[in-house]
Copies of this chain bind each other. A is one copy, B any other.
Amino acid sequence: MFSRTAEYALRTTSFLGSRPTTNLTTEEIATATKVPPAYLSKVIQSLRKAGLVDSRRGASGGVKLNKDPEDITILEIINAVDPIERIDRCPLGLAAHGVQLCPMHSQLDEALASIEEIFGATTLADVLDDPAGSAKRCTFPRSPKKTRRTARSR
């Protein structure tokens, strides 16, 4: 039901959110998220157009989130690459219906509204956190903290 493109965009932003201070190369993102590189470039382009990521070429360039994970909703990420299209008029183009939906299409639109509501109320930060500690993210873990990086004994 959710497109491959949406899934890839979520993996990408999820990974970027786990490395908020780092400019990442597309190769690094592709490896971590298992998104095919050519597909990833298109996804990043769409996310950039939507203002969700910053992408710069060059030696000091790379890709990173343009906002804090707390300020990006799942809905924004999905809509950046594969927008949820609400049903705002009769899909059959029946003149008698116009913008007034029949019960069936009202029902479908209601389901779409529910999805928008769920995803609009969830931020990227929410899905990066794992209060229960029961499942790891589907991306590489956060960069180890400096204190840990120097603690060679661990």
Q: What residues make up the interface of A, taking CB atoms closer than 8 Å to B?
A: 1-2, 7, 10-11, 14, 33-34, 74, 84-85, 90-94, 96-97, 100-108, 110-112, 114-115, 118-119, 122, 126-130, 134-138
Judging by beta carbons under 8 Å apart, are A118 and B126 in contact?
A: no
Most-contacted residue by chain B among A1, A84, A119, A126 (CB, 10 A)? A1
Q: How many copies does the complex hold?
A: 2
Most chain B CB inside 10 Å of its own CB: which residue of A105, A111, A122: A111
- Are A97 and B135 in touch, CB under 8 angstroms? yes
How far apart are A130's CB and chain B's nearest CB, in angstroms? 5
| 17 A-B pairs with C-beta separation under 8 A | A1-B1, A1-B115, A2-B108, A10-B104, A10-B108, A14-B104, A74-B107, A91-B138, A94-B136, A96-B136, A97-B136, A102-B138, A103-B126, A104-B127, A107-B118, A111-B119, A114-B114
Q: Residues of B contacting A136 with CB < 8 Å? A: 94, 96-97, 102
| Contacting residues, chain B, for A102 (C-beta < 8 A) | 127, 130, 135-138
Q: Which of B85, B100, B111, B137 contacts A104 (CB 8 A)?
A: B137
User: Known contacts being A107-B122, A108-B2, is A101 close to B135, with CB within 8 Å?
Assistant: yes
Contact B127 A90, beta carbon cutoff 8 Å:
no
